[in-house]
A and B are shown apart, each in its own frame.
Chain A
Amino acid sequence: MTLFELVLRSMRKNIKHYYLYFFVFIFCTSLYFVFVTLQHDVSLPDRMDGGSVFSQAFLAAGFLLLLIVSVFTIYANRLFFNRRSREIGLYQLIGLTKRGVVQLLLLENTLLGIGALVAGIVCGALVYRIFLVLISSLLGFDGVVTVHFSLSAMYQTAAVFAVLIVLTSIQMVRMTYRTTLIDLFQAENRHEHPSTPANGPAAVFGLLGIVLILYGYWQSGRISQNTLFIGSLAILGSIIAGTYLLFRVTIGWLFGRIRRAANGHLGLRRALSLAPLMHRMRGQANSLTVITVLSAMTLTMVAAAYSFYYSAGKDTRNALPYDFAIENGESNAAKHFGEELDAKGIRYDHRKVDAIRLTGKICAVPSLSACEETTLLVLPAEQLRQTGADIPVPEPWNAAMYDGNAKLDRLTQDPNADLPKTIEMDLLKSESGNKLQLTDVVNRFAMNYNVYGDQLVVSETTFRALKAGMTALPQYEQEQMKERPDYAAVAFDTFQVPDKPQRKTASEAYAAFVPEGSHPFDYEREYRDKLQSFGLFIFITGFLGLVFLISTGSMLYFKQMTEAEQEKRSFITLRQLGFEKKDILKGIMRKQLFVFTIPLAIGIAHAAFAVKTVSVLVPSSIVVPSATAMGGYVLIYFIFVLLTMGYYKKIVKAAI
């Protein structure tokens, strides 16, 4: 038999064995190809405002993808090498030199790698159109998409994955030269010898693991803007260290306690789940920590992306309650805009809202030292209500602040914590004995957020009193002659367009009525921009998440496959002792649930806290979209549990 024939033979065997590995490899290659093609695609970014953002996003995504693929292939490669160690040892025993073995492995790895690479690029090119349609609909583009096959993308994909193949080849060569014949023959039996950890240190480190994680969770709830960087590093470090200790010590220690309580009367199910888990987890602490942290990262990413996408409409409404708001009718912009809408046959609701703008101080009640000087925009609640806004009327001389960034500005403390505060207006102090009080902070805007000033809503009577006080000032008229008066009565023309397609036409027309050089702030435009950037975000995180998920799932699956081979002997023994297949499988099922559920559950817990921290960026609720994203993740994850169970079933069935 020539070397080549030998290679072909073992390749055929390997494909059957490691189909999942090839599937993942091909999937990643395809996805990378798609990302690179999108990065270079000239037709898409043109339709977006920030074309460079688009290609930057895909560049970053491609990089992350490569990172996970490298971790995955190197992990899998090592695992497979150990599994085949007996075969490799046998070749050497019958006289093949190490050089010969290396040649054989390299030839095999190269052929398989190139095969997977070609398959990946072909698949990528075939499914590219689907991706294009998907991203277009996510980003709200309409019209037909045109597909170009990008040669440069193909070259880039081929080059990058060729490097990966070279890396794994180097790894194989090193492993072959570093292992002795005896290592090769013992590799299969050389899993860590079980031992009972010393109780005292185990308890200390076991509890330390839990404490570190809880500390991280607790800190994540009180992170503030000035400690953002150091704080999040500390949290990350504490949680990762805690997770490692959890796998390395805590779980083994807890299982050990259950086991000691059983005093030898373990029973079949616990003998098949508790005992092997207790010993194997320690040795796998590294990979389990990586898997858990990756899962947590993926979940956070996907949940956050979906939350942003999901609440884009609501968040935009919080920032821009009116489709269009034009300040002061003097330039007649509002009038002309109304005429324009009439001319286009667009139905709209036009209301005027009065307001006053002036400087003031917001002071905490106990000490007058903590005052915040700011420009205030005072709006009457009754007029806002007439436009259809859901704004309660405050008591006389009470004011509610409407600020869509309230959660973000005061990262840690509850915005309503130290209310009421007093509002001091130096101008109007002498005129009225009444003092305005800030009694409420609402996490949205009452007037479109681009208008100048902190928005305070008061009742109409209070508003009138304040306005009268201001206009009665002797220097008022003079002040109004300035280009930017320090205090003024202003008015807003608000427009609501209920019909969606008409709103879009109106949005296009609106740009002409904005002063030259300034950005048109209107609901429709803002919403579309948000949808586009979050659509891009969710597209990328969605597919990256899928790659992460498949990679971590496969890592666990390969590990379980190896364990199943090692435990084969035990299953035969158990069958001889008179245990039924179904009892043995029940025990194994329990073990699988632990193996897969523990990293998943910890990952979800980590992600839940991370998402909660990120949620300050999303004014609206994150519970529904996060839960949906996590649910989807769990569902796909459990496919791997089924695959593993299937593999075990085959092995137990073959036992006797």
Chain B
Amino acid sequence: MYEFFDLTLSVFASTIRLAIPLILAAMAGMMSERSGIVNVGLEGKMLMAAFAAAATAAVTNDAWVGLAAGIMVSVLLSLLHGVACITYNGNQVVSGMAINILAAGLAPTLANAWFNRGGQTPMLSADGRHTAIHLPGIETVGDIPVIGDVYRLLISGHNMLVYIAILTPFIVAWILYATRFGLRLRAAGENPHALDTAGVSVSSIRYRAQIGCGILCGIAGAYLATAQSAAFSQNMTAGRGYLALAALIFGRWRPKPTLLACFLFAFTDAVQIRLQGTVIPGIGIIPVQMIQALPYLLTILLLAGFIGKSEAPKAIGLPFVKDR
């Protein structure tokens, strides 16, 4: 019984760790898509931010400077997406894919040229990483059975970015539903002509949404390279940007269901890592590739099963052209 509790707790703990980049990226996607700009480029922005954060942290030996660099690069890519989609009325999906391909080439090229380690950045020291924080009272509470374990493994012992990421959905929900900017952002995604008639610049709102999206993707990338691991490696995002996008669609572009979808994907991922190499009674060892495919398979099943009547922002993907 206690063994099962331990197992569950460790799966939940790794669920939280794996959910962080998904939550940040999905919320980034929400900022962009609720303003009417499709964002397939989350993957590339995260990857580039991961590289920038790891490279900067390796040189400066400061995790926070790394985070700032990650955010800056990701915001720049977001603005590039903005220029293509908002200023030049370009195809938004194509622009997003362009950013993904660009990042997949640029990050390893620069990593090779600057660090000469086969497309990786140097391993970060403790100062260059976001390390675990122990919340107060861990010594006294930590020894209590059950509650102590939960406090020690699930609530305490994460790095700062984890706590920031957990707060993000609430901040994004507050921005979207409780501020004037959020109202305008949603209007830009639902009915940009109404917004325009009200005398608000649709472009300016959408650009600001892109910047918000860039900031969150930047944190997500920095988390991958300087908190979860201690260096940048090629393709380290491994499709998380696309999974986040799927979570956003599955969550019907709303913060709470999207957050739950992120946890669902992360849980599947945590289970698949736990399943690798274990013998399942009656079946034996499931091939590792089949288990690794679980999150992707789940994505397809979820999108196929529940998205029949999804309510995407009405003006999503459409360039805004003023009526004359």
**A and B physically associate:** no
B-to-A contact residues, CB < 8 Å: none
